[in-house]
């Protein structure tokens, strides 16, 4: 094996909020600094969960930190997110979460009842998702050195049989499935902060997507090419990453993308694109054309999958980009999220 | 969504598109300027260019408040953040606009107290909540946002709030249109008039454009159907050899404007003798300053600002793009040194800036896509 000095391309002088927003800046940081120094030997594009081999058994492994503010919001809380987020990262890599370890970073002065409520929420979410919490660690920092509490969860999972997903396997003609309405989580957090005088009936979509993933794997296992949960940066960012990683074009039909009125309204007011807003209980799947209908059917029949739709397809052009066709036959490109309109949403 | 979906109905949109094709004389190349950045954004966002025949060209105008602000004003405003007792509050649009030593967001990352607000009233609230700090609201915008700044200043005085002031960069639209019409390299057939500004100033201030310059003006709403209908109305005028001001956005814009808003502006603001616009240079009587009666709430009257003047990077052709002489993609820096993430010019920052809109929505044009192909 030839050893060459790692090539660090990240040259920005300081870390900005955008580097944690999951969009372009995050990708520059990961690909330009972390990857060359930490996993220089890694082959292929980076994804949310790693598949590693131990004693001949392949397992999936992932980790995620949660810094959401406020800690509780309509439809969920940081504790619930911390479990579901990691379960979902494993699920969309084609794995069932088996065990999770937890790290708490707590700010001195945090009221015990707030902590207890979150630990309970984690326990309930873990039970609902059928995952064991196998251990953990606690650190406390001085008052003012953290914002109440941060949670990191690391999960390992067992690979579902008959699933082999990778961006390279994505072919022109493949269909793009979306599990339900987008933008609920990001807009809920934004409104829950109370900085905007807008009230809307809207709840975070946080949930385990594993049952939905399992249903399409059963219906169309071999036809599933790629999956991703579109969290920070939204559907646009996830699909742009796919487009770049597979070198194909993604063409979406705007009218097919389900967006609730409250989310649409808030986005119109704030000048945001729902395609850039975070989700915590949805996933995207690319499925071969011949299996797409079966996959959609299975998703729709599964509990919580009634709103699933095919929102577009893979084409040769525009290679490396995501194009949205509007209702009127016009079209526009949709890029990855730039900057960070909504910091600390998960 | 009510009041929105009606103006996005596909069958009406395609009818309007057909009507434009029918009205446009194939022997003539039409150059229509949409003055307002909100229109520019909508045109890209909804892919409206794809619906127009090739000989109907839309030129993006100067109506993006962030874009026309010279860098020196940003530096002046940010200079106040050097005082740790100060909170710098601005609209989200401003946050990534580069000053000489970084954008407000970069100042924030370095530890300065920079906050995003959604209205001047939010900035006033910050001042009430932080009585030990001084809140500077960095005000930008045309007549659309100026009344709310005026009302906020009136409120601050009524409350006797000592720890709040406004760094005022409000500008007015008419002198900018005049500057564009005076520009010798400009040839325009008509204007899609600004909708939001007109809710305040009404339609009368545009009459000289029709009467003296012979160019039709149609004040337009911001939904796809609004914009296409306005183009239809302009083409009808041009075909009939007419030049008048018409109001397509009647559901929102009264012909006489909003007298209460105009009163509030007149109460608080007076015209600056001249003001520098990025790309357009100094334009006389084109910006607002706070009257001395309200001087206590004017950051410029209360504190010392350096009065920085910065020339734009030579290679950046923001001025030409702003005037519509160059298309965004014709600028030497477009998409290379200047991108939405690392903008050189302000046109690349605001979602209303024509460069950002062009970059985000159609950078890789032309692409041949059969949009009608079923998905």
Alpha-carbon distance B270 to nearest alpha carbon in chain A (angstroms): 30
Q: Tell me what pLDDT residue A342 has.
A: 62
Is the confidence at residue A46, as pLDDT, over 80?
A: no
A58, β-bridge pairs: A53
CB-based contact A332 B92, cutoff 8 Å: no
- CA A327, A328, A330, A334: dihedral to nearest 10 degrees? -20
Alpha-carbon distance B213 to nearest alpha carbon in chain A (angstroms): 33
pLDDT digits over B222-244, tens only? 999 999 999 999 999 999 999 99
Which of the residues B12, B341, B352, B372 would you substitute to probe the A interface, choosing the one with the greatest number of A C-beta atoms within 10 Å? B341
- Tell whether B282 and B140 lie within a shared domain: yes
Give the nearest partner residue to B362 out of A327, A332, A338, using CB atoms.
Answer: A332
Q: Of the residues A159, A175, A194, which one is the last residue of a structural domain?
A: A159
Name the token pair of B260: 């209460």
- Report CA B22 to chain centroid distance, whole Å: 31
Name every chain A residue with its beta carbon within 8 A of the beta carbon of B48. 328, 330
> Rounded distance, CA A202 to CA A193, Å?
13
Q: Are A192 and A279 in contact (CB under 8 A)?
A: no
Query: Helix %, strand %, coil % for chain B, to 5?
Result: 40, 20, 40
In a domain, B20, yes or no: yes
- Tell whether B18 and B161 lie within a shared domain: no
Q: Tell me what pLDDT residue A130 has.
A: 95
Highest-confidence range of A259-263, A334-338, B321-325, by mean pLDDT?
Answer: A259-263
Give the nearest partner residue to B1 out of A195, A265, A318, using CB atoms.
Answer: A265
Q: What mean pLDDT comes out for the span B8-29?
A: 90
Alpha-carbon distance A283 to nearest alpha carbon in chain B (angstroms): 19
> Rounded distance, CA A313 to CA B214, Å?
49
Between the CA of residue A284 and those of A182, A227, B196, what are the distances in Å?
Answer: 11, 5, 38
Between the CA of residue B219 and those of A3, A12, B45, B151, B186, what are the distances in Å?
Answer: 65, 44, 20, 26, 21
Residue with tokens 């370095």: B110
> Rounded distance, CA B81 to CA A170, Å?
50
CB-based contact A326 B361, cutoff 8 Å: no
Give the nearest partner residue to A251 out of B46, B359, B369, using CB atoms.
Answer: B369
- Tell whether B137 and B188 lie within a shared domain: no
Q: What mean pLDDT comes out for the span B105-127?
A: 91
Alpha-carbon distance B375 to nearest alpha carbon in chain A (angstroms): 6
Alpha-carbon distance B94 to nearest alpha carbon in chain A (angstroms): 12
Name every chain A residue with its beta carbon within 8 A of the beta carbon of B349. none
In a domain, A30, yes or no: no
Is the confidence at residue B253, as pLDDT, over 90?
A: yes
CATH number, domain containing residue A329: 3.90.650.10
Highest-confidence range of A131-135, A268-272, B67-71, by mean pLDDT?
Answer: A131-135
pLDDT digits over A264-305, tens only? 988 887 778 899 999 999 999 999 999 999 999 999 999 999
Name the token pair of A98: 């088996």
Alpha-carbon distance A174 to nearest alpha carbon in chain B (angstroms): 10
Q: Tell me what pLDDT residue B28 has.
A: 94
- Tell whether A171 and A92 lie within a shared domain: no
- Tell whether B32 and B107 lie within a shared domain: no
- Tell whether B182 and B163 lie within a shared domain: no
In percent, how much of chain A has pLDDT > 90? 68
In a domain, B364, yes or no: no
CB-based contact A317 B17, cutoff 8 Å: no
Name every chain B residue with its beta carbon within 8 A of the beta carbon of A341. 92
Q: Of the residues A159, A187, A220, which one is the last residue of a structural domain?
A: A159
In a domain, A16, yes or no: no
User: What does chain A come to in residues?
Assistant: 346
In a domain, A40, yes or no: no
In a domain, B214, yes or no: yes
Task: Name every residue in A having a CB less than 8 A away from some CB of B.
Answer: 14-18, 24-25, 195-196, 251-253, 256, 261, 264-265, 268, 270-271, 310-313, 317-318, 321, 323, 325-335, 338-339, 341
Name the token pair of A175: 């269909």
Give the nearest partner residue to A332 out of B13, B45, B368, using CB atoms.
Answer: B45
- Tell whether A179 and A302 lie within a shared domain: yes
Q: Are A50 and A60 in contact (CB under 8 A)?
A: yes
Provide the number of structural domains found in chain A: 2
Q: How many A×B Cβ pairs under 8 Å?
A: 101
- Tell whether A304 and A172 lie within a shared domain: yes
Name the token pair of A277: 């807003």
Smallest CA-to-CA distance from B136 within B88, B95, B94, B184 is with B88
Q: Are A278 and A78 in contact (CB under 8 A)?
A: no
> Rounded distance, CA A227 to CA A242, Å?
10
Question: Is the Cβ of B29 closer than 8 Å to some Cβ of chain A?
Answer: no
CATH number, domain containing residue A82: 3.30.1330.10
Name every chain A residue with its beta carbon within 8 A of the beta carbon of B50. 329-331
In a domain, B190, yes or no: yes
In a domain, A14, yes or no: no
A322, β-bridge pairs: A250
Question: Is the Cβ of B372 closer than 8 Å to some Cβ of chain A?
Answer: yes
CB-based contact B14 A271, cutoff 8 Å: no
In a domain, B226, yes or no: yes
Question: Is the Cβ of B107 closer than 8 Å to some Cβ of chain A?
Answer: no
Question: Is the Cβ of B125 closer than 8 Å to some Cβ of chain A?
Answer: no
A43 pLDDT band (50/70/90 cuts)?
low
Of residues A213 and A162, the one with the higher pLDDT is A213
Alpha-carbon distance B131 to nearest alpha carbon in chain A (angstroms): 19
CB-based contact B341 A312, cutoff 8 Å: no
In a domain, A201, yes or no: yes
Alpha-carbon distance A344 to nearest alpha carbon in chain B (angstroms): 15
- Tell whether B84 and B151 lie within a shared domain: yes
- Tell whether A200 and A63 lie within a shared domain: no
Q: Tell me what pLDDT residue A44 has.
A: 65
Q: In sequence order, which ranges of B246-348 are alpha helices (DSSP H)? A: 259-268, 299-302, 318-323
- Tell whether B205 and B347 lie within a shared domain: no
Between the CA of residue A22 and those of A125, A346, B276, what are the distances in Å?
Answer: 24, 11, 38
Q: Tell me what pLDDT residue B279 has.
A: 78
Q: Is there a cis peptide before residue A318, judged by omega within 30 degrees of 0?
A: yes
- Tell whether A177 and A141 lie within a shared domain: no
pLDDT digits over A204-214, tens only? 999 999 999 99
In a domain, A21, yes or no: no
- Tell whether A120 and A147 lie within a shared domain: yes
CB-based contact B367 A323, cutoff 8 Å: yes
Neighbours of A170 (CB within 10 A): 22
Average model confidence (pLDDT) for chain B? Answer: 89
Q: Tell me what pLDDT residue A341 has.
A: 61
- Tell whether B24 and B150 lie within a shared domain: no
Task: Write down the pTM of the prediction.
Answer: 0.82
Q: Tell me what pLDDT residue B370 has.
A: 41
Q: Tell me what pLDDT residue B339 has.
A: 85
CB-based contact B46 A265, cutoff 8 Å: no
> Rounded distance, CA B33 to CA B193, Å?
8
- Tell whether B292 and B351 lie within a shared domain: no
Name every chain B residue with its beta carbon within 8 A of the beta carbon of A317. 367-369
Q: Of the residues A127, A159, A191, which one is the last residue of a structural domain?
A: A159
In a domain, B340, yes or no: yes
Which helix (H) or strand (E) is B283 found in, with range?
Answer: strand B281-284
Q: Tell me what pLDDT residue B368 has.
A: 40
Give the nearest partner residue to B46 out of A256, A326, A333, using CB atoms.
Answer: A326
* Burial of B310 (C-beta count, 10 Å sphere; 0-12/13-18/19+): middle
Give the domain extent around A133: 45-159
- Tell whether A173 and A155 lie within a shared domain: no
B45 pLDDT band (50/70/90 cuts)?
confident
Q: Tell me what pLDDT residue B372 has.
A: 37
> If DSSP codes are grouped into helix, strand and coil, which group holds residue A234?
helix
Provide the number of structural domains found in chain B: 3
Dihedral sign, Cα of residue B66, residue B71, residue B75, residue B77: negative
pLDDT digits over B171-200, tens only? 999 999 998 888 877 789 999 999 999 999
Q: Tell me what pLDDT residue B373 has.
A: 38
Alpha-carbon distance B374 to nearest alpha carbon in chain A (angstroms): 9
Q: Tell me what pLDDT residue A343 has.
A: 64
β-strands B274-277, B269-271 pairing: unpaired
> Rounded distance, CA A103 to CA A155, Å?
12
CB-based contact A318 B341, cutoff 8 Å: no
In percent, how much of chain B has pLDDT > 70? 95
Q: Tell me what pLDDT residue B363 has.
A: 55
Q: Tell me what pLDDT residue A4 has.
A: 63
* Burial of A112 (C-beta count, 10 Å sphere; 0-12/13-18/19+): exposed
- Report CA A19 to chain centroid distance, whole Å: 16
CB-based contact A328 B372, cutoff 8 Å: no
- Tell whether A180 and A316 lie within a shared domain: yes
B362 pLDDT band (50/70/90 cuts)?
low
CB-based contact A16 B1, cutoff 8 Å: no
pLDDT digits over B139-169, tens only? 999 999 999 999 999 999 999 999 999 999 9
Give the nearest partner residue to B92 out of A252, A256, A341, using CB atoms.
Answer: A341
Smallest CA-to-CA distance from A174 within A237, A214, A220, A229 is with A220
CATH number, domain containing residue B97: 3.40.50.11740
Q: Tell me what pLDDT residue B180 has.
A: 87
Neighbours of B216 (CB within 10 A): 26
Which residues are within 8 A (CB) of A126 and not within 5 positions of it... i.e. 6 or more apart?
Answer: A83, A100, A132, A133
> DSSP code of A5?
-
Name the token pair of B69: 């602000």
Neighbours of B130 (CB within 10 A): 16
Integer-rounded Cα radius of gyration of chain A: 20
Which residues are within 8 A (CB) of A5 and not within 5 positions of it... i.e. 6 or more apart?
Answer: none
- Tell whether B58 and B120 lie within a shared domain: no
pLDDT digits over B307-352, tens only? 888 877 777 888 888 877 888 888 888 888 888 877 887 788 777 7
- Tell whether B113 and B25 lie within a shared domain: no
- Tell whether B230 and B85 lie within a shared domain: no
Average model confidence (pLDDT) for chain A? Answer: 91
In a domain, B225, yes or no: yes
Give the domain extent around B48: 5-65+173-247
């Amino acid at each position: 094996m030839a050893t060459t000095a790692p090539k660090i391309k990240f040259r920005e002088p300081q870390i900005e909020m955008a580097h944690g927003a999951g969009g372009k800046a995050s990708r520059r940081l990961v690909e330009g600094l972390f990857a060359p120094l930490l996993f220089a030997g890694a082959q292929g594009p980076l994804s949310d969960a790693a598949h590693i081999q131990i004693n001949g058994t392949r397992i999936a492994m992932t980790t995620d930190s949660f810094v959401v503010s406020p800690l509780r919001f309509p439809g969920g809380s940081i504790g619930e997110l911390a479990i579901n987020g990691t379960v979902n990262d494993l699920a969309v890599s084609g794995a069932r979460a088996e065990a999770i370890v937890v790290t708490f970073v707590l700010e001195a002065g945090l009221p015990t009842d707030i902590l207890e409520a979150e630990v309970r929420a984690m326990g309930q979410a873990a039970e609902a998702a059928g995952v064991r919490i196998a251990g953990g660690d606690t650190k406390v920092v001085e008052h003012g050195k953290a914002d109440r509490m941060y949670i990191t969860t690391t999960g390992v999972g067992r690979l579902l049989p008959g699933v082999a997903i990778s961006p390279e396997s994505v072919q022109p003609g493949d269909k793009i499935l979306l599990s339900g309405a987008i933008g609920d989580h990001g807009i809920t957090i934004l409104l829950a902060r109370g900085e905007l005088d807008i009230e809307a009936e809207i709840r975070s979509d946080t949930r385990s997507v594993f049952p939905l993933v399992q249903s399409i794997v059963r219906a169309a296992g071999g036809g599933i090419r790629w999956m991703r949960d579109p969290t920070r940066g939204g559907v646009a960012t996830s699909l742009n990453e796919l487009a770049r990683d597979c070198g194909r074009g993604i063409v979406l039909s705007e009218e097919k993308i389900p967006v609730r009125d409250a989310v649409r309204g808030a986005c119109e007011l704030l000048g945001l694109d729902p395609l850039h807003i975070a989700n915590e209980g949805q996933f995207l799947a690319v499925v071969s054309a011949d299996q797409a209908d079966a996959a959609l059917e299975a998703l729709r029949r599964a509990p919580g999958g009634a709103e699933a739709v095919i929102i577009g397809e893979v084409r040769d052009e525009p290679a490396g980009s995501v194009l949205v066709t509007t209702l009127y036959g016009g079209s526009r490109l949709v890029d990855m999220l730039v900057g960070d309109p909504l910091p600390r949403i998960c | 969504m009510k009041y929105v979906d009606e103006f996005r109905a596909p069958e009406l949109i395609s009818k309007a598109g057909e009507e434009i094709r029918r009205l446009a004389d194939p022997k003539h190349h039409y150059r229509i300027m949409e003055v307002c950045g909100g229109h520019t954004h909508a045109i890209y966002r909804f892919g409206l260019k794809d619906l127009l025949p090739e000989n109907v060209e839309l030129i993006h105008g100067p109506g993006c408040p962030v874009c026309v602000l010279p860098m020196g004003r940003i530096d002046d405003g940010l200079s106040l953040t050097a005082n740790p007792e100060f909170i710098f509050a601005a609209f989200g649009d401003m946050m990534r606009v580069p000053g000489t030593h970084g954008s407000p967001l970069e100042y924030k990352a370095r530890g300065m107290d920079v906050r995003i607000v959604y209205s001047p009233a939010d900035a006033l609230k910050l001042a009430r909540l932080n009585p030990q700090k001084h809140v500077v609201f960095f005000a930008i915008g045309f007549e659309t946002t100026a009344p709310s700044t005026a009302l906020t200043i009136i409120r601050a005085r009524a409350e006797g709030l000592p720890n709040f002031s406004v760094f005022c960069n409000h500008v007015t639209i008419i002198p900018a249109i005049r500057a564009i019409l005076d520009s010798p390299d400009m040839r325009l057939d008509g204007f899609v008039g600004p909708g939001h500004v007109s809710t305040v100033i009404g339609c009368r201030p545009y009459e000289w454009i029709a009467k003296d310059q012979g160019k039709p003006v149609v004040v337009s709403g911001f939904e796809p159907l609004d914009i296409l209908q306005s183009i239809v109305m302009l083409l009808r005028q041009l075909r009939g050899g007419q030049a008048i001001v018409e109001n397509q956005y009647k559901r929102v814009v009264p012909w006489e404007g909003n007298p209460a808003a105009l009163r509030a502006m007149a109460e608080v603001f007076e015209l600056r003798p001249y003001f520098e616009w990025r790309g357009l240079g100094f334009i006389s009587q084109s910006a607002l300053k706070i009257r001395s009666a309200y001087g206590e709430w004017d950051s410029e009257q209360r504190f010392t600002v350096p009065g920085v003047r910065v020339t734009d990077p030579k290679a950046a052709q923001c001025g030409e793009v702003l005037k519509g002489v160059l298309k965004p993609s014709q600028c030497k820096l477009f998409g290379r040194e200047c991108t939405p993430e690392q903008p050189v010019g302000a046109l690349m920052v605001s979602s209303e800036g024509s460069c950002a809109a062009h970059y985000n929505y159609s950078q890789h044009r032309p692409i041949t896509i059969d949009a009608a192909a079923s998905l």
